[in-house]
Amino acid sequence: MTTEFKSISLSGRKKDVSNKDMTFMEKLYLPAIAKGMGITLRHFFKPKVTIQYPEVKREFSPVYRGRHILMRDENGAERCTACGLCALSCPAEAITMTSGERKKGEENLYREEKYASTYEINMLRCIFCGLCEEACPKEAIFLTQDMPPADYQREGFIYGKEKLVMKNEQ
């Protein structure tokens, strides 16, 4: 029975292990240790993989999904119209918003008649899937290359408009 089982390999990658006696040179161990020390010495002179973080930063991939940003259009007006599609698409239910109506004289602030008066993303809930970015019909929300920084309080991770809306370049 045992001999039948020996050749069965479900994965097709089974290796037959041999317990053959070691030769004299193998029993000495010293040649093997010398070989191993050669390998470690080679690593000693290899270029190091460490990235010295605060000075040097690792390049993210171009499709990296980091913290969100609410874009402005070319006139500096917010693109978001508070349609709520991002909140709907969000699998983690991290996005909440309330909508407001644009008053006279606010045309330079908001692009369309309806805008988000508050817009919050809970960064602790967010899984950075990028579905909000995909769902947005106005190209208002994007995921950027940087990470949300650490904080001491949970409240600090609920990002409001002051943190999310793109800074006005003026």
Partner 1 sequence: MDIALFIEKAAIILVVFGITMLIALYSTFGERIFASYFQDRLGPNRAGPGGILQPLADGVKMFTKEDFIPDTPNKFLFIFGPFLFMTTALVTSSVIPWGDTLNLFGRSIVLQAADINVAVLFVFGVVSIGVYGIMLGGWASNNKFSLLGAVRASSQMISYEVAMGLSIIAVLMLTGTLSLRSIVQQQHGFIDWSGSIPWFSWNVFKQPIAFMVFLICAFAETNRTPFDLPECESELVGGYHTEYSSMKLGFYLFAEYINMFISSALIAIIFFGGFNYPGMDWASGHIGGNVATLLGVGVMFAKTLFGIFFYMWVRWTVPRFRYDQLMNLGWKVLIPLSIANIVVTGAVILLTGK
Applying CB under 8 A, the residues found at the interface with partner 1 are: 30, 33, 36-37, 39-41, 43-44, 46, 48-50, 52
Q: How far is the CB of 43 from partner 1 (least distance, A)?
A: 6
Cβ count within 10 A of residue 128 = 17
CB closer to partner 1 out of 17 and 39? 39
Contacts 24+ apart (CB under 8 A), 166-170: 166/69, 166/70, 166/71, 166/72, 168/72, 168/76, 169/76, 170/76
For 8, residues 6+ apart whose C-beta sits below 8 A from its C-beta are 14
CB closer to partner 1 out of 33 and 127? 33
Q: How far is the CB of 48 from partner 1 (least distance, A)?
A: 5
Helix (H, G, I), strand (E, B) or coil at 39: helix
CB closer to partner 1 out of 43 and 104? 43
Rounded CA separation 80/65 (Å): 19
CB closer to partner 1 out of 50 and 75? 50
